[in-house]
Chains A and B, each alone.
Chain A
């Protein structure tokens, strides 16, 4: 059975090669090839899943060794895949949601002449993401990590004729490089500490290393996670990444790739468990990001950017949970999966709306669309209910558990983290209700554009609605399937471990509090956007609103501190280079030249002076030898 694991990766990789090298003759069928290979990978995943289910919990880890990648003495890197409960969860999420989004893209990208290439990139992404989650060592994981970064770059900038898309792709790439440096440093530290970077040996020998080293490794891993998962302070790229086609935003920048950081932290749980300081930093990053993203999401009028803020915020929840240690690992992954369903559904819904509205993204120009797009409305609405944590839907089960776990951390930290998570839930309810109201309710606010084309909102074709419907089912039921009877907990516990913690408040209290903040958030949003007509031009807004519209000044901060600072640094380095370094170098060169010119005069062409030099040399040689004996 374990021989099938490589096929999971091979199928989309084959697709990428065929589609990207196949040339124009595949234009007509390329999208179906891509979808078929993606679905094939999903089917293999399901087969492996049923196989795992048939085994005992302790036998659910399958390994497939393909070849030894770097066979150097003391530096062994294998291409080995590891399929256990954790990676299985990801495989199903990636290939399942991935296949749905392939299908969706068939319709969404119908009029794009580079559709074949788009599917090639999507398949490349799937292959890289599967390598990331299936790798059995950090070095191979790094291959997948960089692979998804590449695919992300290519897909954000897919409409490269738009300067904004090209810039956004570059921005995402650069910010991710910072995180990637963290991962590579972490791997190097691991190698110097443990002499290997395979999961098994590293994670089982954590006890042999000092806490200081482990904290260093953990913080570097966190840096990597921050880059890939758009956590503060490396969050700035995600909003701009929405320049990519909407299916890309749904798959890569909502459901799968951006959650790789959470995977990394949970996978390296043993390291984080042994480094409590690093764990604290993880929780702080998660809490800050979940509020940061939520506040940004409140102020955005661009539907995709509002959802991007929401993604950032929800991943903040997952990182927070992952930082809690064994109390939270399972719930981080559970929220990751449910989020994968409802956020992908929401993005596909947004894409469907844009598809019907001539690619308009400004929600102030929507309004009342529920009548025009009933399927989109219902599926988007179910996703909305799921994300705000409406009782019984997916988000309710997973988010509630994270809030409980945050309180269960105990002490002042527990209160602060739990409070932040609760506040985040309120803001989530607010901004998602805002999106819902501005898009589907109220009066229609769209106008003819400058060419006189008035949008004719219409329901999207079947290839797009079917994935939305399937994902809506996931949004509704996944949480219940996972949460009731702690099924997901029992499934994942052998890998991640689990502790209950000691919550100062009962689970019921937390649930009730969550319900209260939910109602408050929805209520405020309704008061602001449901009762009153939405102005077609955004009002000036408060200071906070204006800051949030500018992503809480993240780009200004980066520009002033990093870009300006970097420019000053390079300028001063150039100055030092020109004056000091060049001065020394040129001075040395000049003095060498001068010396050379002077020494050259010794070579005067007379055999007699050559002989004298030899004689003198021989005398010195003899004298020096004698002297050596004397001393």
Chain B
């Protein structure tokens, strides 16, 4: 090849002397994105705090920054909602990447509140006795030290604490805020990774039973990466099908209102096999995050191994964020496909409800029990998702709000029941707890009754709303299965109550730690929310109903 010919390869364009089109500056609505931006900014400040603030003061600085940021972000969400962004002014911001609408704001509010009460349990430092004169929390003294090694002992002796958990929490929250409001597939994936990676790390940071914690984190990471791969591949297939990442465009291609073919994708565009396979794979990634059968197997191991405050936060907020994303995907991107995905989701919902409830019966560890319970609840929520009506959306929103408080509260109670080895999570140790600590046992009983869906608790109102929407949406058989699996689930919830109140306490039984006002606040808020949402749910149902419309 001659030199000119080679030269012309990279000068042809310039040779045509076309004026280079300026890249337009993207238009970013900072105010509407403020909740996410506040949390991300605070997380960055948290990193700087780790770098520049003396070790002794870091804990206070981190808790302060995190709490202020979460409150401010929540206030921003409320301000946006009050301004009408949830209803009349709902629109798509940041060049089509982020939706600001009712479901997004509602779920962001729930996630931020979960983050706030979760933060209180993260910051709790009075459950364990002081080690070498230093207060300790639930997290490893130094994550990098090998369990049982000398360096770990040295770190404990030096009174180190892993205050990095607070920025990690904030990063996770930021990802979760974006996840349900993501309006294109790339944003969705980025958000997924942004909140998943900090959670993998947090799972590995337990102070007690560190090997179990690290094993859980590795499993979570491996399986999470595996699921992400499916999601990413699904995204690629959908792009191939539609030639776009944007939810709105894909939806239009699906329903046939866009027919012009991108020449670069002439071979694949409009190929329904790509659409169906790609959609199913993205959905699979989201089902992994919500813990639906058969993508649930990480849940018990991770819930058990992770530090309990992390478990509580993760169980609540991940589920909220992932269901938000799933709702948006199914309602905004794939509504034209609902005759294809609905039967499949029926099957997933049924085996999730039954599987979670049945396997929970034989669990002997309270954290694993709650993990299977969360699987069953994922099934109940899926029943509402399948309704494909506005009531379906709002009932799922309400259920998520109710469920997240109950879950965080329940795991907060788990942190209180302790023996020499840390938390006493084996169920046999909970025998007779009601005789020794009637208040703690009664509070836990309230949470269990709410999980079981007994009237006058939040769980009942949520379950009722979801099942009602599902029945009205033509999924009556699903409701029957749901009620049956609720009956099965009631067995193991009530069994714990029976164990706590009607069994003889064991002589070597655990003690109930007296927590600081932080955990007390978490549990108090959770109990109050459980009862208020159960006794007078109407206001919140109305709120969820107002927020039940997605912007397209």
Contacts and interface: CB of A to CB of B under 8 A. Distances in A.
A603 B297 contact: yes
B488 A592 contact: yes
Interface centre among A595, A597, A613, A624 (most CB of B within 10 A): A624
A618 B223 contact: no
A610 B288 CA distance: 11
B294 to A, nearest CB: 4
B358 A596 contact: yes
Interface in A568-614: 589, 592-593, 595-597, 599-600, 602-603, 605, 607, 609-611, 613-614
5 contacts: A592-B361, A599-B355, A603-B297, A607-B222, A624-B344
Interface string B273-314: 100110111011001100001110110110000000000000
B103 to A, nearest CB: 24
A616 B343 contact: no
B316 interface: no
A58 B443 CA distance: 64
Given A614-B295, A625-B344, A600 B362 contact: yes
Contacts of A593: 361-362
Given A614-B227, A625-B280, A625-B340, 9 more contacts: A596-B360, A600-B362, A610-B298, A613-B297, A614-B223, A620-B294, A622-B280, A624-B343, A625-B279
Interface residues of B, number: 41
Contact of B284 (A589, A603, A613, A618): A618
B30 interface: no
A609 B281 CA distance: 19
A618 B228 CA distance: 12
Nearest to B355: A599
A562 interface: no
Contacts of A626: 273, 276-277
Interface string A233-265: 000000000000000000000000000000000
Nearest to A588: B488
Given A607-B218, A626-B273, A629-B276, A614 B359 contact: no
A617 B295 contact: yes
A624 B362 CA distance: 31
B277 A592 contact: no
B341 interface: yes
A614 B276 CA distance: 18
Contacts of B273: 626
Nearest to B288: A614
Contacts of B284: 614, 617-618, 621-622
A595 to B, nearest CB: 6
A379 to B, nearest CB: 60
The 3 closest A-B pairs by CB, nearest first: A617-B294, A610-B297, A596-B361
B276 A607 contact: no
A538 interface: no
Interface of B: 218-219, 222-223, 226-227, 230, 272-273, 276-277, 279-281, 283-284, 287-288, 293-295, 297-298, 300-301, 339-341, 343-344, 347-348, 355, 358-363, 488, 491
Contacts of A622: 276-277, 280-281, 284
A628 interface: yes
A597 B360 CA distance: 10
Interface of A: 589, 592-593, 595-597, 599-600, 602-603, 605, 607, 609-611, 613-618, 620-622, 624-626, 628-629
A614 B361 contact: no
Given A592-B358, A614-B223, A628 B280 contact: no
B262 to A, nearest CB: 23
Contacts of B294: 613-614, 616-617, 620
B223 A607 contact: yes
Contacts of A592: 358, 361, 488, 491
A244 to B, nearest CB: 41
Contact of A607 (B219, B288, B348): B219
Contacts of A618: 230, 280-281, 284, 295
Contact of B223 (A595, A611, A625): A611
Q: Is the interface of B mostly helix, strand, loop or mixed?
A: helix
A616 B284 CA distance: 11
Contacts of B295: 613-614, 617-618
Contact of A621 (B297, B300, B344): B344
A621 B280 contact: yes
Nearest to B225: A611
A621 B344 CA distance: 7
Nearest to B342: A628
Contacts of A613: 294-295, 297
Nearest to A621: B280
A603 B272 contact: no
A597 B279 contact: no
Contacts of A589: 491
Contacts of A628: 339-341, 343-344
A590 to B, nearest CB: 11
Interface centre among A593, A599, A622 (most CB of B within 10 A): A622
Contacts of B288: 614
A614 B355 CA distance: 15
A627 B277 CA distance: 11
Contacts of B279: 625
Contacts of B281: 618, 621-622
Nearest to A608: B222
A596 B375 CA distance: 14
Contacts of A616: 294
A629 B340 contact: yes
Nearest to B351: A617
A90 to B, nearest CB: 42
A616 B294 CA distance: 8
Contacts of B280: 618, 621-622, 625
Contacts of A605: 301
Contacts of A620: 294
Given A607-B222, A614-B226, A629 B272 contact: yes
A342 to B, nearest CB: 55
Nearest to B279: A625
Contact of B300 (A597, A603, A611, A624): A603
B301 A624 contact: no
A589 B358 CA distance: 10
Contacts of A603: 297, 300-301, 359
A611 B230 CA distance: 12
Contacts of B287: 621
A65 to B, nearest CB: 28
A617 B361 CA distance: 23
B88 to A, nearest CB: 29
A624 B223 contact: no
A601 to B, nearest CB: 10
B358 A614 contact: no
A611 B222 CA distance: 9
B204 to A, nearest CB: 14
A5 to B, nearest CB: 36
B215 to A, nearest CB: 8
Contacts of B362: 593, 596-597, 600
Given A610-B298, A618-B230, A599 B347 contact: no
Nearest to B348: A621
A388 to B, nearest CB: 61
Nearest to B339: A628
Contacts of B223: 607, 610-611, 614
B263 to A, nearest CB: 27
A593 B293 CA distance: 19
A625 B277 contact: yes
Contacts of A614: 223, 226-227, 284, 288, 294-295, 297
